[in-house]
Amino acid sequence: MAGRLNVVSKTEKQFLDDAVFAAERAKGKKLSGPEKKEVLQVAREQLLGQREAEAAKQARAEERQAVEFIWSKPKPFRH
Does the structure show a pLDDT above 70 at 79?
Answer: no
Q: pTM to 2 decimals?
A: 0.68
pLDDT band at 72 (very low <50, low <70, confident <90, very high): confident
Query: pLDDT tens, 38-63?
Result: 999 999 999 999 999 999 999 998 88
As a whole number, mean pLDDT of residues 23-28 equals 93
Does the structure show a pLDDT above 60 at 11?
Answer: yes
CA atoms within 13 A on the CB side of 24: 14
Question: DSSP for 35-64?
Answer: HHHHHHHHHHHHHHHHHHHHHHHHHHHHHH
CA–CA distances in Å: residue 14 to residues 9, 47, 65, 77: 9, 11, 33, 59
Q: What angle do CA 19, 30, 27 make, to 5 degrees?
A: 70
Of residues 1 and 33, the one with the higher pLDDT is 33
